[in-house]
Structure 1
């Protein structure tokens, strides 16, 4: 497909900007970025399901699952986090299972369930933001 040189430069600039944002982010900010990306992807999944766009649905569900497994689950410290980290892992694993079912059955209700389950966690993470970035 044809793309203009200006589009290519703009796309490269966005990628560099995103990479720089990740490099300069605190661990807390990185988790917040993961949640932001997760909700964008889940909402895109919901939209693709409503439009009947199977390819787009699969792409966004896969992205959501990767964020959950490779970002949020791997970011948990089960030793230091104790019961809270273990419970979050169970929640993330459950969310992956529900998204897998949602993909197989084209069930938007399961995607909405995952959104509703994870919103309080993301909101709590956002609220502790200012204190998580303070140094003593």
Structure 2
């Protein structure tokens, strides 16, 4: 079998693979994927910023903001208490920094948000598997259910 457009075939394969991974993922894994998505979009935006591609830079920063907004909206303040409140403030700050990075073409602000997200993700990745199924967890996320 040959393809006239190998990039299109690869893109279709990646999309299908991602849909399969999402449908089979635990709630804990979904959050890991979202955090990884933020990091990917920031890295892509950084590359576009360095090349002066304003449209794609803005599109990728917007996508990162959208993912962070989803993480923010899924916080469970009743279960998460102070940690959820701290994450809310951090997510708000990250969104503001990304907005400023977009407006001012600031690689430093992109890097700052990427560093913050890597720190959050590292903490999330360290949660033992035995806690992945619990409704209440250290991040106060309502998306982690039994």
Which TM-score applies when normalising by structure 1? 0.86
Deviations 1:36-70 (A, max 9, x none): 11111111111111111111111110110011002
CA–CA distance in structure 2, aligned partners of residues 55 and 68 of structure 1: 20
Q: Name the count of aligned residue pairs.
A: 133
Which residues of 2 match residues 69-84 of structure 1 at below 5 A?
Answer: 69-70=69-70, 72-84=71-83
More helix by share: 1
Deviations 1:64-85 (A, max 9, x none): 0011002x11221111111101
Structure 2: give runs of 5+ residues left out of the alignment. 135-146
- Measured after TM superposition, the shift of residue 115 of structure 1 is 1.3
- Measured after TM superposition, the shift of residue 10 of structure 1 is 4.3
- Measured after TM superposition, the shift of residue 20 of structure 1 is 1.5
SS class of match (1:76): coil
Structure 2 match to 1:63 = 63
Is the 1:42–1:61 contact (alpha carbons within 8 Å) kept by the matching residues of 2? Answer: yes
C-alpha RMSD over aligned residues: 2.2
Structure 1 match to 2:109 = 110
- Measured after TM superposition, the shift of residue 134 of structure 1 is 6.5
Structure 2 match to 1:96 = 95
Structure 1: give runs of 5+ residues left out of the alignment. none
